[in-house]
Structure 1
Amino acid sequence: MKASEMTGLLHICLSQGWGGLEMYPLRVGSGMMARGWRVHGLALRGSKVAEGMKAQGFEVFELDSRGHGLRQLLTLRRWLKARDIRLVHCHKSGDLLLAALLKRLWPLRLLFTEHMGATRPKRDPLHRWIYGKVDLVLSISDETRRRNLKALPLPASRIERLWLGTDLTRCDEPAAEIRAELGIAEDALLLGVLGRIGRGKGQPDLLEAFLLLAQAHPRLHLLIVGGTQASEGSDEKVVAALRQRINEAGMQERVLLTGFRRDTQRMLQAMDLVAIPSHNEAFGLTVIEAMAAGKAIVGASTGAVPEVLGEAGLLATPTDPAALAGQIASLLVDESLRQRLGVAARERAQREFSMSHHLDELARRYQG
């Protein structure tokens, strides 16, 4: 019998948020289930993570809080033993204490995907003990691996880079139909951005860049895709400020906040070009999603975006609306450039960022 059929896999993600980090265990968990792995989840009761895990077919143990988990250690051990769970994949540093304590009680292989890159040294006695129980830290980019090597109390051999992956299936629904549903003219030039809304994700900077371009490019519209509530991972103050700025500029007809959407492939299909103005992205799942959709991209020149995008897009300082506007304008006036960059982005996604390749690499690390 294969190791993947014999051993249960547990994803731990005790988060009330909803972003790329929280979606990741659902993506890879469902992919591993399709490959024959028995996948379970440990999540906060009523969270989007817990609901998403259950929707994907995970058996989920729900906790009221991290503290509740610490009080339930023996119950959790019995639950792990009954399901022969020998492999734990953790996704938030705050969950590692619980995972390390479980490893003291039950033989486990423990992996941790560091989605952000450690920004503060973690070499005190408690963190040395916790990370001493971690068999492998997976960094989602070279940028985050550099941070982790500097901050974590582990040898370089136990900190590896593993780029994320995405579904390469493209939406084949006509863009005009999706635009009609959104109330956007078929002949508009549609600039889009996806992801949770927050200062660091750059939507306010992109809005200012759009306003610099709006008069010279009357066909230009802006589509901001992302939840507008804190429960969806977004900063409600930033959302309110965006709406106020849109109203002040009289751009209600040309700037649309869609709210939370699960159909991101459809949203990408409707766009002519995509901006990724994150200030310091650890990887940028939206980057590879836009690449897989074959879109021309203007990405941030900071963080891991240049590493992920390579030569398949344009870069600009994300905190400089004039710089963003300049790169966007070069794509607005040159349709052939948009097409060339879109093709290059799609080819790079197929070569480097397929979910199948990611799951192959993840399974290899699961099996040690």
Structure 2
Amino acid sequence: MSHKVLHICLSSGWGGLEMYPSRIIPELARQGWQAHGLALAGSRVAESFREAGVEPLTLASKGRALLAVGRVLAYLRAHEVEVIHCHKSSDLRLGALLATLRPSLRLFFTDHMGVTRPKKDPYHRWAYGKVARLFSISEATRQRNLAAFPLPAERIRRLYLGIDPAPYAPCLDDEARAALRRELGVPEGAVAIGLPGRLTPGKGQEVWIEALARLAAMNPDLAWHGVLIGGLTVGEGSDEAHVAALRRRIDELGLASRIAFTGFRRDLPRLFEALDIVCVPSRNEAFGLTVIEAMAAGKTVIGSDSGAIPELLDAETGRLAAPEDAAAWAAALAELAGDDDLRQRLGQAARHRVERDFTLAAHAASLVEEYENLQGAEGA
């Protein structure tokens, strides 16, 4: 049985979906599987494959992918690859065609985004009919997938994402942590309240800013500092018009001296060490990778009570607030900002939850089990 898989991600963007294949490749290798990659030439995805130690097969454009089917089939034969795994619904056209032309291939698909409309027309029945297993990254998305996709329930499986908790474990000494807080503009003794993620509509930065304004009015003597972590340009994955609107609103509320923009940072695990509270006010997260990253860092997290985030957080590990309710966010911030012991207890419980339920090793083990079981079923 071949223990080789081709991950297909023909995207020119860069977000959690695009990062997934390169994140999983080293763990797959540790569990005995050799990964291959198919990406667009010159894309950040192709670069990430190389950074993970895999030289990808590349295509000039997504629009010409179907014309390259012969080349891809030849690559699969030459490398004895029997498993293909797609990560964008648009890539299923190629994946399903490959599985049609070579029926021994096993096709997997991960729905990273959460489907928003039914996909039961003839094309989707054909394409998804070639999928051996569809992975939903949360129970919230699985329920939508069951209703939207033309697949029997037993072929749709919830498979939570995972991370390696080790890089998120605190490692800065007091002096280094204090220096990092100063770099972020956090005054000594202030509660650092962070919001990491792409600065785009839907991620909840607006309600967070309004909540901080309410917090300032409710608790005028409380020292706090807001930290917005994320790229500021299109090239860094953000919406520049949205960034400009956020800056205007911060100025209107008189909070310019109390909220800092960090820009794109590669040191998120260390930035978590500089924060006291992490906020994830996204309106409809399909999973919430940032939530479990902050939890792994032992941080107290406030998340939206919508999408998949309530599957990750509960009253023992953090707090939830309605994504459009600035007053609820302000109340949660006030509770946590004023209680160091509570933040510590919640943070410790959150880290234990990640170690128990959301590790990359456990995720990859489940993935490998699916790859191997379905290969075995095909060969039986």
Pick aligned residue for 2:41 from 32, 42, 45: 45
Alignment of 1:1-368 (within 5 A): 3=1, 6-106=2-102, 107-169=104-166, 170-174=169-173, 175-214=177-216, 216-311=220-315, 312-368=317-373
Give the secondary-structure state (helix, strand or coil) at the position aligned to 2:56: strand
Question: Does the aligned pair in 2 maintain the 1:19–1:195 contact within 8 Å?
Answer: no
Q: Which residue identity does 2:141 align to in structure 1?
A: T
Deviates more, 1:47-56 or 1:248-257: 248-257
TM-score by length of 2: 0.92
Give the superposition deviation at 1:218: 4.9
Give the secondary-structure state (helix, strand or coil) at the position aligned to 1:85: coil
Question: Does the aligned pair in 2 maintain the 1:7–1:84 contact within 8 Å?
Answer: no
CA RMSD of aligned residues (A): 1.6
Supply the distance in 2 between the matched residues of 1:49 and 1:259 (Cα, whole angstroms): 21
Question: Does the aligned pair in 2 maintain the 1:139–1:159 contact within 8 Å?
Answer: yes
Unaligned runs of 5+ in 1: none
Give the superposition deviation at 1:156: 0.2
Supply the distance in 2 between the matched residues of 1:88 and 1:280 (Cα, whole angstroms): 28
TM-score by length of 1: 0.94
Supply the distance in 1 between the matched residues of 2:148 and 2:214 (Cα, whole angstroms): 40
Give the superposition deviation at 1:167: 1.4
Question: Does the aligned pair in 2 maintain the 1:205–1:277 contact within 8 Å?
Answer: yes
Give the secondary-structure state (helix, strand or coil) at the position aligned to 2:262: strand
Supply the distance in 2 between the matched residues of 1:339 and 1:359 (Cα, whole angstroms): 30
Deviates more, 1:31-40 or 1:140-149: 31-40
Give the secondary-structure state (helix, strand or coil) at the position aligned to 1:201: coil
Supply the distance in 2 between the matched residues of 1:52 and 1:124 (Cα, whole angstroms): 34
Give the superposition deviation at 1:252: 3.1
Give the secondary-structure state (helix, strand or coil) at the position aligned to 2:282: coil
Question: Does the aligned pair in 2 maintain the 1:16–1:231 contact within 8 Å?
Answer: no
Give the secondary-structure state (helix, strand or coil) at the position aligned to 1:43: strand
Give the secondary-structure state (helix, strand or coil) at the position aligned to 1:315: strand
Question: Does the aligned pair in 1 maintain the 2:39–2:56 contact within 8 Å?
Answer: yes
Change (3 A) 1:217 1:42: farther
Q: Which residue identity does 2:171 align to in structure 1?
A: D
Deviates more, 1:233-242 or 1:348-357: 233-242
Unaligned runs of 5+ in 2: 374-380
Q: Which residue identity does 1:58 align to in structure 2?
A: V
Note the alpha carbon deviations across 1:271-319, whole angstroms, 9 max, x for none: 1011110101111001111111111111101111111113311111111
Question: Does the aligned pair in 1 maintain the 2:6–2:35 contact within 8 Å?
Answer: yes
Supply the distance in 2 between the matched residues of 1:296 and 1:89 (Cα, whole angstroms): 35
Deviates more, 1:197-206 or 1:244-253: 244-253
Change (3 A) 1:295 1:132: same
Give the superposition deviation at 1:217: 4.9
Question: Does the aligned pair in 2 maintain the 1:17–1:232 contact within 8 Å?
Answer: no
Percentage identity across aligned positions?
Answer: 51
Note the alpha carbon deviations across 1:308-332, whole angstroms, 9 max, x for none: 1133111111111111111111101
Supply the distance in 2 between the matched residues of 1:282 and 1:148 (Cα, whole angstroms): 11
Question: Does the aligned pair in 2 maintain the 1:18–1:231 contact within 8 Å?
Answer: no
Give the superposition deviation at 1:196: 1.3
Question: Does the aligned pair in 1 maintain the 2:278–2:299 contact within 8 Å?
Answer: yes
Give the superposition deviation at 1:181: 3.3
Supply the distance in 1 between the matched residues of 2:265 and 2:347 (Cα, whole angstroms): 23
Give the superposition deviation at 1:35: 3.1
Supply the distance in 2 between the matched residues of 1:88 and 1:191 (Cα, whole angstroms): 42
Q: Which residue identity does 1:117 align to in structure 2?
A: G
Give the secondary-structure state (helix, strand or coil) at the position aligned to 2:134: strand
Give the secondary-structure state (helix, strand or coil) at the position aligned to 2:65: helix
Q: Which residue identity does 2:61 align to in structure 1?
A: S
Question: Does the aligned pair in 2 maintain the 1:110–1:134 contact within 8 Å?
Answer: yes
Give the superposition deviation at 1:233: 2.8
Give the superposition deviation at 1:36: 3.4
